[in-house]
Chains A and B, each alone.
Chain A
Amino acid sequence: MSKTVSFHLQKGGVGKTTISGTIASQSALNGYTTLLVDVDPQGNASSWFYEGELEWELSDVLQGKCFVQDAILEIPSIPNLFLLPTFGIGGGLKQYAETKIADEPYVIQDLVKELSETFDRIILDLSPGLGKLERSSLIASDEIITPMTPEVFSLDGLEIFIDELEKIKKNLRSPVKHNKIIINSFDERIRQHKDIYEAALSGSFTVFKIPVDPVFRKAQEHNMPPQLYRARGRGLKPITVKAIEAIDSTIWR
């Protein structure tokens, strides 16, 4: 059975796109047909995995300008990974999010339902914020996992997100699950990071941590998944690889 996951916190810079792309790659490398849907008008996930010009994007699919199959790309360097892209420049998703989606809050849910027949796993990469586009995407997901950085603004963000999500679930009648967080850019030498991690473990969330690893940024610069990137023979730190595998092995259950 297909499963759809969103990695979301309305705060920017916590690693939503990096984690979405990395976990999508991990899932695909493990042999599952995986679709990464770029629901961010900036189109960062798209430019990470694809170079070149395309004819169709997500907003065209949502507005019925093309068939969904016309817009989905196979990523040649990663078997089983597919992308439903958004154009960062000249794209129509931002305008669509500001206008038409207000009349059709379940449009992403309908799209995901259709895609679930083709893909084992679907990941929605969202932009920061909690506007109509993000709300529509959240209720289209089976599960939301919150990435955060170990600092006070992320904690504020998580508190706000928990509160807002309850309202979204109630108003849009959604059963979406939210019981996992990922503490990203974790540095065990920093006491603040350890304090936040330990406090998080004491709550009801399942908590993962991803260490600081420069390979994420370098892999993105080279349009590659972090798992396959090597510079002078070196790739992700072993502890990072373990963290990614732990997240991947848990979230798709």
Chain B
Amino acid sequence: MIMALKKNPETIEVEDSMSAKKAKQLFKHDSKPKKENKILTTFSIEPSFKRDLEEMFSEMGLGWAAGIRFALKEFSKKHADEV
């Protein structure tokens, strides 16, 4: 007697393939809002003042650029609070 094929109830549903998982992860990451890029800015400063600042930043574990960014952010926060 011919019978219709029946699904084996013990069959495990196939999970996403490696490439499908990878693709989901990659494109999900890609759709996240990106961190804003930095632009280069330059300014002049007295050498003695620069040395003082470099020393201060160095004690805080910061390089020149990171120190300047940190200092400007702090200034900006303080100024925003005052306003």
Contact = CB atoms under 8 A, between A and B. Distances in A.
A213 B18 CA distance: 26
B69 to A, nearest CB: 16
B81 interface: no
Interface residues of A, number: 19
Contact of B22 (A152, A191, A204, A205): A152
A158 B27 CA distance: 10
Nearest to B18: A152
A92 to B, nearest CB: 36
B18 A199 contact: no
Nearest to B22: A155
Chain A, interface SS category: helix
A170 interface: yes
A195 B20 contact: yes
Interface string A138-162: 0000000000001110011011001
B23 to A, nearest CB: 4
A200 B31 CA distance: 10
B31 A199 contact: no
Given A192-B17, A195-B17, A156 B22 contact: yes
Contacts of B19: 150-152, 155, 192, 195-196
25 contacts: A150-B19, A151-B19, A152-B18, A152-B19, A152-B22, A155-B19, A156-B22, A158-B26, A162-B30, A170-B37, A192-B20, A195-B20, A195-B23, A196-B20, A196-B23, A199-B23, A199-B28, A200-B23, A200-B27, A202-B24, A202-B28, A203-B26, A203-B28, A203-B30, A205-B30
Given A196-B20, A199-B20, A200-B27, 16 more contacts: A152-B22, A155-B19, A155-B23, A158-B26, A170-B37, A192-B19, A192-B20, A196-B23, A199-B23, A199-B28, A200-B23, A202-B27, A202-B28, A203-B28, A203-B31, A204-B31
